[in-house]
Amino acid sequence: MEEIGRAGAHDRVVVSLGTAIVNGVIAPDDDLDVVALQERFGVSRTAVREALRVLAAKGLVGARPRRGTFVAPREQWSLLDADVLRWRFAAQVDEVFLDELGEVRLTIEPAVARMAALRRTDRDLAALEDALTAMREAAGRPTGDQVEADLAFHHALLRAAHNELMARMATAIEAGLRLRDQFVHANLTSESADKHAEVLLAVRRQRPKAAETAMRALIERSIADVDIAKKIHAEQGGHRR
């Protein structure tokens, strides 16, 4: 039970500090005093130091002799780390990230589809078929089911490309799709599933150019949906970060 208590204290400090840093509540170059943090969170010095080590591994904090621990410059942050992405969205929808993610997806995912068409195995095709079936079945169901089905398709496509570095993009893509759903409030439709089916058909037939083109069209539609949602958000008094 003591170990569980220490772990809980450590996690609480990590999440609280991480969220404050990535959302600008604690600014880059601000000092982090271990004793003050210990008192603030009511935890042991060990728990604070362990939390700071976790944040250092994510590039959020640094340390120097004589100065101590401080918030690292933003360019050192591991922006694709799953926790950093989650903390970045904790306070409000990050429209800047949505724009940047759209650009990244438009660069990477058509290439992934092309590779998948050239390298897919029967097992990859089965996974893509299962994901597409789940997407069709999720239409009209709770939004969470729809997002999970959509994610399953994109993860399966990344795996079908058989490129480990490309597969690492799954974390950012997943975070982006979840955020897009939160912001756009879009539901899966038969049209959306059909567009994914076009990608799958090209991959199955081993037509790399067609797969690339179909995926580009799918992502461009997603970007357009986000742009529409941003206009609605602005009209309703929302503010861009």
Q: Angle at which helices 170-184 and 143-160 pack, to 10 degrees?
A: 150
Residue count (the chain): 241
pLDDT given at position 2: 42
At 240 the pLDDT is: 44
- Using alpha carbons only, give the angle 113, 118, 124 rounded to the nearest 5 degrees: 70
* Contact status, residue 88 vs residue 23, Cβ threshold 8 Å: yes
The predicted-structure confidence for 99-135, as pLDDT tens digits, reads as follows 888 898 899 999 999 999 999 999 999 999 999 999 8
Q: pLDDT value at position 241?
A: 46
- pLDDT by residue (tens digit) across 122-171? 999 999 999 999 989 887 776 677 888 888 999 999 999 999 988 888 87
Each residue's pLDDT tens digit, 47-67: 999 999 999 999 999 999 989
Share of the chain above pLDDT 70, in %: 90
- Mean of per-residue pLDDT scores for the chain: 87
Instruction: Give the DSSP H/E element, type plus range, for residue 105.
Output: helix 95-119
Q: How high is the pLDDT of residue 9?
A: 81
Q: What are the φ and ψ backbone dihedral angles of 79, each rounded to 5 degrees?
A: -65, -20
3-state secondary structure (DSSP) of residue 226: helix
Q: Which residues partner with 71 through β-bridges?
A: 61
Residue 201 has pLDDT above 90, yes or no: yes
User: Cβ–Cβ contacts within 10 Å for residue 141, how many?
Assistant: 12
* 211: number of Cβ within 10 Å: 30
- Do residues 174 and 186 make contact, with C-beta atoms less than 8 angstroms apart? no
**CB 8: neighbour CB atoms within 10 A?**
12
pLDDT one-digit tens code per residue, 75-96? 999 988 889 988 887 766 678 8
